Structure 1
Amino acid sequence: MTSIARPTTALDRLNPVTRLLLLVVAAIPIIISLDWLSSAVMLVGTLTIFLVCGVPPRQLAMRMRPISIAAPLAAISMALYGKPGGEVYWHWGLVVVTERSVTMAIAVIFRILALGAAAVELLGGLDLTATADGLAQLCKLPDRFVLGALAGMRMAGMFTEDWRTLSLARRTRGLGDTGRLHRFATMAFALLVFAIRRGTTLATAMEARGFSAQSAAQRTWARESTLGRPDGIGWIVTVALDAVAVLASVHFGTFTFITS
């Protein structure tokens, strides 16, 4: 079977650590203000940047689909039960729809979409090995922790196959058609046993290959994690977008600090 390669975009030229930090920086205007304008500016700017970087619109739409469903649901709750204020549009029992709650509901939609768009593209498709290299070499996180987490993340994908194998084995023995709750409990316990055994084997193998704390001082890296020009451009663009979003909300008088 011929595999289809994932389209290469300008985002792939960024260091994984840069992508993680850019997500944090992009979230600052959305976190510090509750208004809808700053979030809308961040959403439009983020989507525009991703499209300019070569992200396929279809891929972006597919990744945004769950977020597009969650955002209106959260907005409805905010509109019905949010902090009241201003003109009252509808009142029934505990439900009070006011001018303030509707405004906050609109802001919630833009905030969720803006954060979600940044997260799905900046975190989507990250190379786990390159990310671990960057966290250890650039962020100076403990090597032992980073490498252990990398090994665990790579083995997490085996759980689905283990669950499928257990299900087929039980069905072959005639145990998979009844007692769903009991079947789930026994399979979950068996999966836990598999995980413990595999983790013990992995820990022993890593110790044998020199991943112990005693050899950490002499450890070298097969791939050097570096920062380049694309990372600098990413920082400039993200900080500029943050500034535009905050200044626009302040200029038009919609800026609402998080504690207000």
Structure 2
Amino acid sequence: MTLALEPVADPAAPLARRNPVAKLGAALLFSLPLIATLDPLTPALGLAVELALLPFFGVRYRVLARRAWPLTLAAGGILVTMVLFAADRTGALLMSLGPFAITTGVVSGALGLVLRVFAVALPGIIVFATTDPTDLADALVQNSKAPARFAIGALAAFRLIPLLTEEWQMLTLARRARGIDAGRNPVAGLRLFASTTFALLVGALRRGGRLATAMDARGFDSRVPRTYARRQRFGAADTALLVGAALLSGAALTISILTGFFNPILG
């Protein structure tokens, strides 16, 4: 059974209608300066800008928050790891947890890393939530002159991702029907998870090989000039999106430098 999920974004939103290559380029331009510094202020400013622009991309806060739990879980793990095992423990002592000294330097570094995870990941989430995969592949070939073999192959792989979820459910139900269930045993659960993952990987490799052979048989690598059913236009509004992303990321970095928070990752 497949559940009907609420759409993440409204495709009619102003920025959601922009060219896929422009949205992808804007995400890269905005994200790259955020990883140039270790301070928490720069990613915090970047995250604030991203959250403020979400409505213009048609992304719903409630749906995004509900579906971003893997990212939140990863950020929580990073925070705990940094607080407990950070090598640099300079700054004023805030509290002690046995042998672990929690200082202002540790908290600042952990907070900066967690904010950077969200600030760098969110633009990519916005791009893929507001872009049809076929439009993205067409735009990469038409506007970025990417090789058609690469773009169409990536599109085919992206289209297969939902099938992995369905196949995982089928494998789990099939094993449960055969009496293979871990119950409440965590060790047995880990072994069952590993074996199911391996079976899913084998199935994905087989399907990928069959798909690649079928695509080559249909002339996807014929090197003959192709025609496109969907023309992807790159206009002035798309250029403005790229320029705006560069200016906003530069502004966040400038504020960090002027306020003395800037802590370059190199140097």
Asked whether the two chains share a fold, i.e. TM above 0.5, the reply is yes
Distance, in Å, in 1 between the alignment partners of 2:112 and 2:39 is 6
Query: Within the alignment, does 1:76 sit opposite 2:69 as a pair?
Result: no
The AA in structure 1 aligned to 2:61 is P
**In terms of mean alpha carbon deviation, does 110-119 or 130-139 score higher?**
110-119
Work out whether 1:122 is the aligned partner of 2:127: yes
Counterpart residue number, 1:45: 49
Matched letter for residue 103 of structure 2: T
Contact residue 10 and residue 16 of structure 2 kept, 8 A: no
Counterpart-to-counterpart distance in 2, 1:16 and 1:91: 49
Q: What SS does the aligned partner of 1:217 have? A: coil
1:187 CA displacement: 6.2
- Once the two structures are aligned, what percentage of the paired residues are identical? 35
Bigger-Rg structure (1/2):
1
Q: Secondary structure at the match of 2:223?
A: helix
2:24 is aligned to: 20
Q: Whole-Å Cα distance in 1 between the matches of residues 233 and 25 of structure 2?
A: 15
Cα distance per residue 1:202-249 (max 9 Å; x no partner): 33432332213xx31332222222312331231122112112211111
The match for 1:217 is 224
Q: Deviations over 1:15-50 (max 9, x none)?
A: 222222222211123211111221111111111122
User: 1:27-38 maps to which residues of 2 (within 5 A)?
Assistant: 27-38=31-42
Contact 2:94–2:102 (8 Å) recurs in 1? yes
Q: 2:159 aligns with which of 141, 150, 154?
A: 154
Counterparts of 1:3-14 in structure 2 under 5 Å?
7-8=10-11, 9-14=13-18
Are 1:81 and 1:97, in contact at CA under 8 Å, matched by a contact in 2?
A: no
Deviation at 1:87, TM superposition (A): 2.5
Separation (CA, whole Å) in 2 of partners of 1:68 and 1:81: 20
Q: Which segments of 5 or more consecutive residues in structure 2 lack a partner in the other structure?
A: 183-187
Change (3 A) 1:40 1:227: same
Are the structure 2 counterparts of residues 252 and 57 from structure 1 closer, same or farther at C-alpha, using a change threshold of 3 Å? Answer: same
* Residue of structure 1 aligned with 2:235, choices 221, 225, 228: 228
From 213, 216, 221, the equivalent of 1:207 is: 216
d(CA) in 2 for partners of 1:72, 1:186 = 27
Q: Please, which moves more after superposition, 243-252 or 93-102?
A: 93-102
Paired residue type of 1:58: R
State the AA in 1 paired with 2:64. Answer: L
**8 Å contact from structure 2 (residues 22, 239) kept in 1:** no
C-alpha distance in 1 between matches for 2:5 and 2:96: 56
Letter in 1 for 2:263: T
Query: Which has the larger displacement, 153-162 or 25-34?
Result: 153-162
Letter in 2 for 1:111: R
Give aligned pairs, total.
257
- For 1:145-175, what per-residue CA distance to the aligned partner results, in whole angstroms no more than 9, with x for missing partners? 2222322332343233334445555666x45
Task: Tell me, yes or no, if the aligned pair for 1:60 and 1:121 is still in contact at 8 Å.
Answer: no
Query: 1:74 and 1:194, CA in 2 relative to 1: closer, same or farther beyond 3 A?
Result: closer
Q: Distance in 2 between matches of 1:256 and 1:141?
A: 36
Deviation at 1:194, TM superposition (A): 4.7
From the superposition, tell whether residues 86 and 123 of structure 1 become closer, same or farther in structure 2 (CA, over 3 Å).
same
Q: Which residue type is aligned with residue 22 of structure 1? A: A
Is 1:111 the counterpart of 2:116? The answer is: yes
Q: Root-mean-square deviation (CA), in Å?
A: 3.3
